[in-house]
Structure 1
Amino acid sequence: MTSEYRPTLPERGPSAADLAERDAFAKLAAESLSVTRKSAETWRTGLSAFVTLVTAGVVVKGRDSTSAMTTEWRLAVTLLLGGGLILAVLGLWQVLGVQAGIPKSVTLETIRARFASVAAFEVSIASDAADGIRRAQKLVAVALCLLIGGVVATWWAPAAPARPPAYLKVEHGSSTSCGELQSADDGQIRLKVSGAGAPVVIPAASVANMAVVAACS
């Protein structure tokens, strides 16, 4: 035959310090959700301004900053800046979700079945919200690294090599001249030949052949 369980009284009742701890924790639990939401609101305001500022800078200066780069460097800068913007927006979205609150309706029965009390439910929601803010902080930290990397890359990226100038090779009489074309008027062709102080003037009537070449050999 099983004996009936009889709870026993503790040796002493809660002290004043124990009661103060209990009341302090109850107050902390009651305010945790509102404090977390205020923190999310602060982060949301800052992130909104940050994303707006960075987006405007990238849109306005992006093409000017990358137009003179090689294709490889332009692709790298695009990935860095674009990835940074995407992560910053994701961080903002995360904070907005935290600030928006509970995504679906709940009932008292559901809260009691899962959390036992409304206070425990609020603490759980506040904990989830704090986790969301930490995830947003990590996303923004990575976004900042990518954006800074993209900006630094625009400072140090080498300019794309200029297209090689076209040289004109002219066969005239028994000579051949090659250089940059300066003018062709009044029946004369003027070439800027490397090593010559004055342009070489060739009468058009003496030209036997001419061709555009990439370099004068």
Structure 2
Amino acid sequence: MSQRPESRWQDLADELPFQQLDIVRRRAEGWRNGLAGLTGLLTAVLVLKGRETFTELPSWAVALASGLIAAGFLLLLAGTLLAVRASHGRRTEDIVTNGAVLEEWTEQETKDSQRALSRAIGCFVAGVLLVASSVGVAWTTFQSPARPSGQSVQVTTVGGAVCGRLAASDGKTLRLVTGGAQKQHVRAVAMTDVLAVAPVPAC
């Protein structure tokens, strides 16, 4: 004789109190794996690209973004540890053999695991928001490198080619600023020696 659906549903409902802890811990395992994976991914991305991202930021923005990232990672790490606590429980050396004690322990452990999982989710959300905020700081305060003033030109003379930034010209002499930012000097080229002048993106 087949069991009526109502009886089957009642049997499942009667079994739920005995499965609460397993349900919470399976859910916590999923969050633990997700938190660990996200933390590892963010670490890899920021280690590989972090220095390039912060290169062009003012010092205050670097300090702020670094602080937000550090706080975000600490929260993600705390969330991972809380998820581990929720999925594996506390370390115990006693084996419960009494039914009433086991019931009490299961109820308390279910509550503790659920609380730890809720805190882990809170840490996850807060950590992601802090890391996202650091990215926002980097984007909104990015400073493109200052370009040196003056058009870069390549001057072809009877003695060869010279590339530099055009500084001044009085009709007789063409003055070019050559060299890098640390070692700049002005080079004067007589107009009688100039064969051609062509603008270039950079020297």
After TM superposition, the score normalised by the length of structure 2 is 0.65
Question: In structure 2, do the counterparts of structure 1 residues 195 and 155 end up closer, same or farther at CA, with 3 Å as the change threshold?
Answer: farther
Question: Shift of the alpha carbon at 1:66?
Answer: 0.3
Counterpart CA distance in 2 for 1:36 and 1:50 is 21
Tell me the residue number matched to 1:133: 117
1:104-183 → structure 2 map (5 Å cutoff): 104-108=92-96, 116-159=100-143, 162=146
Which blocks of at least 5 consecutive residues in structure 2 are unaligned? 1-5, 150-158, 176-187, 191-203
Tell me the residue number matched to 2:76: 88
Question: Which structure has the greater CA radius of gyration?
Answer: 1
Counterpart CA distance in 1 for 2:165 and 2:55 is 32
State which of 85, 88, 92 in structure 2 corresponds to 1:100: 88
Question: In structure 2, do the counterparts of structure 1 residues 202 and 191 end up closer, same or farther at CA, with 3 Å as the change threshold?
Answer: farther
* CA contact 1:94–1:135 (8 Å) conserved in 2: yes
In structure 2, what residue type is equivalent to 1:147?
V
Q: CA RMSD in A?
A: 3.4
Counterpart CA distance in 1 for 2:86 and 2:30 is 12
In structure 1, what residue type is equivalent to 2:117?
I
In structure 2, what residue type is equivalent to 1:156?
T
SS at match of 1:199: strand
Question: Shift of the alpha carbon at 1:102?
Answer: 2.8
* CA contact 2:65–2:134 (8 Å) conserved in 1: yes
SS at match of 1:85: helix
Q: Map Cα deviations across residues 191-217 of structure 1 (whole Å, 9 max, x no partner).
A: 9545768624399xxxxxxxxxxxxxx
Counterpart CA distance in 2 for 1:108 and 1:202 is 95
In structure 1, what residue type is equivalent to 2:128?
L
Question: In structure 2, do the counterparts of structure 1 residues 81 and 191 end up closer, same or farther at CA, with 3 Å as the change threshold?
Answer: closer
Counterpart CA distance in 2 for 1:196 and 1:156 is 43
In structure 2, what residue type is equivalent to 1:77?
A
Counterpart CA distance in 2 for 1:66 and 1:48 is 25
Tell me the residue number matched to 1:60: 48
Question: In structure 2, do the counterparts of structure 1 residues 61 and 126 end up closer, same or farther at CA, with 3 Å as the change threshold?
Answer: same
* CA contact 2:69–2:130 (8 Å) conserved in 1: yes
Q: How many residues align?
A: 158
Tell me the residue number matched to 2:197: none
Question: In structure 2, do the counterparts of structure 1 residues 191 and 54 end up closer, same or farther at CA, with 3 Å as the change threshold?
Answer: closer
